[in-house]
């Protein structure tokens, strides 16, 4: 961890700040404002200690009234003004300004403990399996593991197995030789060789077909791959980090995932909890998102959430995890009526409210039917197909269009869900 300084005056004036920053997995230590320091170091100081500040520092003014954030500019350090009511978010904002690149936003004690474990795992070269719901930060954790490893100076290659075309999966992962299949006008190294010496992150690993799981197992065990069309294996030096939003042990027991590959991947397991169970992370991630939105939008003023808004965010169950949080905050920034984000601006009730029919004896939507001009005696396969597509429509509506949650509700993979959505579009255009 990088070491940051917090002045003795800040510790005396805002005692809770040091504890919050430590909980954010930052190595923070009390320092005297006028003490000699290393070049490039960063300190959190009170505004009356400006004489000892550099442009990289963060100035704090703890006072009553509305909070205010002024970004660093023109050689002056960033400045944060706040009172007791906004202390929690101010601490999260300071932590976000200090957070090193490649480290996830953290504000919960359980997450800080997990990050400490991940730091120890990162120092090894062992394969890691990260499991957690969609939107819980699996890729962020993978990038953190890479950044803290001995491979940090090499490439980090991230690939979503569910997004790879099934017919091209093998060639894209393991490479191919020129002329090995129709359209292979030239050879390609593939993603394993692209990550040689570095880290390959395989997200949604459960979507990998069984035949490719066997090739992945050999790559992990033997440290070599066989490109499509090649006759000799190619050595690779890659650390694999796999992730899945389903319980891979259950998938293995059901025969949908190779048992031997599961145990080969599960050397160092990490489990990410749903966002709703990490209240401190909600504040930390919210601060990171709002700060990022302000910087990307070039806005002069920063929209602080009120204490009531923070309470509402922490009370929400977040079925969509961080992705849903990002949507809620972005919507609040656009629709807010005042300078600050109030609880009423979050529209959390509308986000999660279930669809309620005023006529419960009737379905919410009519089932998918063949247009009258094309009606014919329906076969059993037509009825089954219509029923499946109708279930897809309902699942998407109930999850506010979130495909990952809809797929889980239906008990199918996101790849299968994409096929069903394509069928719906074809039917709408027919």
Residues 224-261 pLDDT 10s: 988 888 888 899 999 999 999 999 999 999 999 999 99
Name the pLDDT band for 366 (thresholds 50, 70, 90).
very low
Tell the CATH superfamily of the 109-272 domain: P-loop containing nucleotide triphosphate hydrolases (3.40.50.300)
The helix or strand, by DSSP H or E, that contains position 81, with its residue range, turns out to be strand 78-82
Start-end of CATH 3.40.50.300 domains in the chain: 109-272
Neighbours of 322 (CB within 10 A): 23
Residue carrying structure tokens 């393991």: 174
Where residue 404 falls among pLDDT bands split at 50, 70, 90?
confident
Cβ neighbors of 78 (< 8 A, separation 6 or more) are 57, 58, 59, 69, 70, 71, 72, 97
Beta bridge partners of 44: 6, 58
Provide the CATH topology of domain 372-429. Answer: Arc Repressor Mutant, subunit A (1.10.10)
Where do the CATH 1.10.10 domains begin and end in the chain?
372-429
Residue 379 CA to residue 168 CA, distance in Å, equals 35
pLDDT for 349 equals 58
Is domain 278-353 given the CATH code 1.10.8.60 in the classification?
yes
Residue 352 in this model has a pLDDT that exceeds 50: no
The pLDDT assigned to 386 comes to 60
* CATH 1.10.8.60 domain residues, the chain: 278-353
Which CATH number is 1-102 given? 3.40.50
DSSP lists the bridge partners of residue 176 as: 188, 228
Question: Is residue 332 a contact partner of residue 346, using CB atoms and an 8 Å limit?
Answer: yes
């Amino acid at each position: 961890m990088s070491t940051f300084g917090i002045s003795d005056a800040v510790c005396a004036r805002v005692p809770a700040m040091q504890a919050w920053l430590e909980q954010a997995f930052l190595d923070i230590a009390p320092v005297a404002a006028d003490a000699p320091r290393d070049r490039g170091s960063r300190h959190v100081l009170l505004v009356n200690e400006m004489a000892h500040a550099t442009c990289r520092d963060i100035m704090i003014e703890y006072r009553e009234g509305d909070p205010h954030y002024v970004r660093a500019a023109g050689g002056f350090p960033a400045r944060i003004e706040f009172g007791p009511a906004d202390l929690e978010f101010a601490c999260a904002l300071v932590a976000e300004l200090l957070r090193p690149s490649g480290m996830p936003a953290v504000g919960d004690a359980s997450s800080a403990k997990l990050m400490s474990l991940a730091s120890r795992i990162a120092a090894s070269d062992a394969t890691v399996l990260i499991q957690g719901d969609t939107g819980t930060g699996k890729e962020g954790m993978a990038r953190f593991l890479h950044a803290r490893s001995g491979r940090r100076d090499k490439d980090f290659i991230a690939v979503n197995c569910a997004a790879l075309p099934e017919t091209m999966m093998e060639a894209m992962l393991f490479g191919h030789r020129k002329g090995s299949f129709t359209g292979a006008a030239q050879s390609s190294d593939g993603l394993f060789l692209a990550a040689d010496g570095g880290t390959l992150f395989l997200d949604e690993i459960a979507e990998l077909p069984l035949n490719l799981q066997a090739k992945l197992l050999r790559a992990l065990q033997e440290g070599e791959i066989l490109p499509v069309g090649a006759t000799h294996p190619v050595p690779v030096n890659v650390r694999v980090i796999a992730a899945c939003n389903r319980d891979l042990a259950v998938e293995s027991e059901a025969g949908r995932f190779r048992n031997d590959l599961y145990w080969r991947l599960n050397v160092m397991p990490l489990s990410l909890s749903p966002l709703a169970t990490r209240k401190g992370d909600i504040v930390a991630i919210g601060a990171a998102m709002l700060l990022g939105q302000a910087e990307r939008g070039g806005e002069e003023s920063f929209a602080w959430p009120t204490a009531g808004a923070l309470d509402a965010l922490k009370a929400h169950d977040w079925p969509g995890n961080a992705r849903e949080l990002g949507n809620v905050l972005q919507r609040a920034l656009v629709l807010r009526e005042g300078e600050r984000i109030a609880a009423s601006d979050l529209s959390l009730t509308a986000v999660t409210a279930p669809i309620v029919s005023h006529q419960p004896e009737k379905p919410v939507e009519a089932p998918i039917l063949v247009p009258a001009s094309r009606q014919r005696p329906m076969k059993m396969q037509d009825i089954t197909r219509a029923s499946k597509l109708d279930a897809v429509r309902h699942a998407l509506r109930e999850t506010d269009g979130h495909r990952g949650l809809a797929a889980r509700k239906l008990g199918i993979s996101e790849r299968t869900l994409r096929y069903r959505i394509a069928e719906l579009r074809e039917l709408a255009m027919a």
